[in-house]
């Protein structure tokens, strides 16, 4: 008999002691019903401070498919997921949250899209029950801005519930940047994508580990890593100010020497001169920023291109 394909399920865990047993029970049901595949269930404990690890160790003992990666402290979900992807052995991996917000019943659909040729399958949230207005507005603007300023298009409502083909996993593992948003990196990698729509369930136990500020930081980090536009802002501002104050200065000059009817006070003229100089300083900052942007992309050290290798 031919060996079954292995599929790795990767889930980050941070203070989910109440959710873990439920999640695992639901996951088992789904996984057991898909007997064409072997599964590897990777749980990455991201420095939980509750009893999550004990729950995971229990499962690990009873179920040989379970593998626990225990991070030494809380590194954040993005890095926890990365650890899971680095360690998985499957022909494909599926990553999803352990807080029951990503419905495990969808796993067979992810797999069938993959079998039909998709290399990345992305879960897209139809609506999010129980999310505050601030969070909704935040994500709305985040996607608006990031799609404006960056070359990598990020679909709004696209979640971390994703399947990656082995080929994509291998390319993902080559990326070395430290400040990362897993989703954005996967989007940057490209490959053939398919989407699956699902309704996110409300969180039952525990609380969302991402506070407002943690989310803001993530949003800024990913903007900075996907785009150098923020670096250019100073330069643009400088150009605008220089032009504006230059025109104003010229106007003052003309009224003074040509029509000889100066009605600008000394301080007003001084203000225009200073404004002009500030504009020039900002332009210089913008120039420096361009060099920094260059350094930034060299340091990020992403591969120049990614090649799709044909499947065996
Ligand atoms: N998580 C993690 N580390 C963290 C915060 C969260 O591994 O520092 C995990 C968490 O256990 C859950 C997933 O990431 O499985 C999503 O977390 P959360 O529900 O807090 O985020 P949201 O649903 O608001 O995106
Ligand atoms: Mg959640």
Q: How many helices and strands (H and E) does the chain possess? A: 10, 7
Residue carrying structure tokens 């150009």: 239
Is ligand 1 within 6 A of the CB of residue 39? Answer: no
pLDDT, tens only, 204-231: 666 666 677 777 887 777 777 677 777 7
In ligand 1, which atom is closest to the CA atom of 81? 7
Angle between helices 77-87 and 166-174 (to 10 degrees): 120
Q: Which of 78, 97, 123 to mutate for ligand 1's pocket (most ligand atoms within 8 Å of CB)?
A: 97
Identify the bridge partners of residue 41 per DSSP, sorted by sequence position.
9, 66
| Percentage of the chain exceeding pLDDT 90 | 25
Task: For residue 49, give the H/E element and its range.
Answer: none
What's the pLDDT at 127? 67
**Which residue, by CA, sits nearest to atom 8 of ligand 1?**
76
Residue carrying structure tokens 């001084």: 270
What's the pLDDT at 1? 53
What's the pLDDT at 13? 93
How far apart CA 78 and CA 17 sit, in angstroms, is 20
What's the pLDDT at 269? 83
What's the pLDDT at 111? 93
What's the pLDDT at 43? 94
How far apart CA 295 and CA 70 sit, in angstroms, is 34
Mean pLDDT by 10 residues, the chain (312 residues): 84 90 90 89 91 88 89 89 92 91 90 91 76 73 77 76 92 81 82 85 68 77 74 87 91 78 78 90 88 80 73 54
């Amino acid at each position: 008999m031919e060996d079954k394909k292995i599929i790795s399920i990767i889930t980050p865990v941070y203070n989910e002691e109440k959710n873990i047993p439920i999640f695992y029970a639901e996951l088992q049901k789904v996984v057991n019903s898909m007997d064409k595949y072997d599964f590897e269930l990777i749980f990455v404990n991201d420095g939980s401070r509750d009893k999550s690890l004990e729950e995971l160790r229990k499962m690990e003992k009873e179920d040989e498919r379970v593998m626990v990666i225990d991070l030494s402290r809380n590194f954040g979900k993005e890095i926890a997921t990365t650890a899971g992807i680095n360690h998985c052995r499957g022909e494909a991996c599926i990553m999803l949250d352990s807080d029951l917000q990503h419905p495990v019943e969808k796993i067979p659909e992810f797999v069938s899209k993959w079998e039909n040729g998709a290399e990345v399958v992305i879960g897209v949230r139809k609506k999010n029950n129980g999310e505050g207005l601030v969070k909704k507005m935040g994500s709305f603007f985040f996607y608006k801005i990031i799609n404006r300023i960056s070359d990598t298009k990020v679909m709004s409502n696209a979640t971390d519930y994703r399947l990656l083909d082995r080929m994509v996993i291998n390319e993902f593992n080559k990326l070395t940047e430290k400040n990362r948003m897993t989703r954005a990196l996967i989007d940057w990698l490209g490959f053939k994508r398919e989407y699956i729509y699902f309704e996110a369930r409300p969180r039952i136990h525990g609380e969302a580990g991402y506070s407002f500020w943690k989310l803001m930081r993530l949003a800024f980090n990913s903007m900075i890593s996907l785009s150098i536009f923020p670096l250019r802002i100073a330069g643009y501002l400088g150009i605008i100010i220089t032009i504006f104050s230059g025109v104003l200065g010229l106007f003052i000059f003309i009224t003074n020497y040509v029509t000889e009817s100066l009605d600008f006070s000394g301080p007003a003229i001084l203000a225009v001169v200073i404004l002009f100089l500030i504009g020039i300083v900002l332009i210089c900052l913008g120039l420096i920023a361009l060099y920094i942007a260059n350094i930034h992309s060299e340091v990020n050290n992403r591969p120049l291109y990614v090649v799709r290798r044909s499947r065996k």
